[in-house]
Amino acid sequence: MIEKITKILTEANFAPSGDNCQPWKFKITPNGLLLFNLPEKDKSVYNFNQKAAYISHGAFIENIKIAALAHGLKTTINLFPDIKNPDLVAELDFSPSNGEIDNLYEFIEKRHTNRKPYLAKPISENQLSELLNLKVDSFDGKIVMVTAREHIKTLAQLLSINEKIVLQNKKLHQFLFGNISWGQEGLQKNDKMFIKTLEMNPLQQFVFKLCSSWKIMNFFDKFGLAKFISKENSKIYSNSGAIGAIITSKNSKTDFVQGGRLLQRTWLLATSMGLSLQPLAGMALLNQILVAGQRQALSPEHAMEIEDSIKHISTLINSGDENIIFMFRVGESSAPSAVTPRLPVEEILSK
């Protein structure tokens, strides 16, 4: 059983996480696995109350569930089973399956974040309805998708305000640049984002590297650099097949884990359709700070920008009062220039 579980974990280990920080540790039990959060791995402002980490855990759990079926095992998921241990995110128990398989299995390894420009071509009605029909058991959240060109354009502008904020907020700036691996392919750090995956041309990469110094970034921003970068990204995001969101009426940590499971199914299904996906999660995650009434954690200007943008986004995606927990773009594109590595499975298993 231990060998089988290790194999499942190795296959599921391609799960996405914010800035590839992989905030997880697993322990093998007689019947399955325990999944622990590692808060020290993601100290980003985006990870307010561990919500970004919980989304990543959800994605990992979904990968495990899919991979386990391929090995003849069904997974029972018990979220936050121990109130005395908030870092114990899930207890996963395996039992023999009745031969069921999940067609998304072969796409676990093929799923990547693609930050390249996409074609400004709508995704097909069939693809749209399949994506919109995705569900995760006992989760009231759902996916919404925007395909109207004008709305995509406005959403792209609103979502790219995140890139201005990340370059103007010292803590966000520090976390972003602290999580970039500048090395050659093959020499990358396993729990960082390889620079090539950010899809910059040599000039952009040169400027970006200069901006890793907070002092230099601050100086350039007097001439509007953060706003300029945000505008450039907005142009890229405008050219997408659709912009989507995961919304839910509730706001508990369980909802974020379940939202992560739905995200992963969406991403894997999009991959199976030959579509690329890039999370555009910054504004939704920063908004969680405001939802929790912790405005003072942001500058007044940024708090206002986030608040106004989220109001506008909610109208465009028609989400009413629902909580937006994640946003992304999908569309047709060529393959990403590089893929992001993972920590080897021995390093995510506790002894």
Contact 211, 219 (CB under 8 A): no
Q: Which residue number, 75 or 271, has a Cβ lying nearer to ligand FMN?
A: 271
The two three-digit tokens of residue 58, written as one number: 């959800």
42, amino acid identity: D
- Closest by Cα among 169, 151, 170 to 159: 151
- Residue 313: burial class (beta carbons within 10 Å; 0-12, 13-18, 19+): buried
Shortest distance, position 325 Cβ to ligand FMN, whole Å = 9
Q: Which is nearer to ligand FMN, 278 or 287 (CB)?
A: 278
Residue of closest CB approach to ligand FMN = 16
Taking the complex as a whole, the smallest distance from the CB of residue 222 to ligand FMN amounts, in Å, to: 26
Choose between 71 and 116: whose C-beta lies nearer to ligand FMN. Answer: 116
Residue 97 CB, nearest distance to ligand FMN (Å)? Answer: 27
- In this structure, the strands spanning 193-194 and 180-181 are parallel
Residue closer to ligand FMN by CB (options 73, 161) is 161
Contact positions vs ligand FMN (CB under 6 A): 16-20, 52, 55-56, 59, 112-113, 115, 193, 278-282, 339-340
Residue 241 or 282: the one with the smaller Cβ distance to ligand FMN is 282
Please say which residue, 15 or 34, places its beta carbon nearer to ligand FMN: 15
* Residue type at 256 in one-letter notation: F
Nearer of residues 52 and 317 to ligand FMN, judged by Cβ: 52
- In this complex, which beta carbon is closest to ligand FMN, that of residue 82 or of residue 109? 109
Count other C-beta atoms under 10 Å from residue 350's C-beta. Answer: 9
Strand order in the sheet with 73-79: 24-28, 32-37, 88-96, 73-79
Least CB distance to ligand FMN at residue 300 (A): 23
CB of 32 to ligand FMN, least distance (A): 23
| 211 phi, psi to nearest 5 deg | -70, -5
Residue nearer to ligand FMN on the CB measure, 58 or 94? 58
Cβ 260 vs Cβ 58: under 8 Å: yes
The two tokens of residue 207 are: 């400027």
Smallest distance, Å, CB 93 to ligand FMN?
Answer: 25
User: Whole-number minimum distance, CB 115 to ligand FMN, in Å?
Assistant: 5
CB of 37 to ligand FMN, least distance (A): 13
Min CB(339)–ligand FMN separation in Å: 6
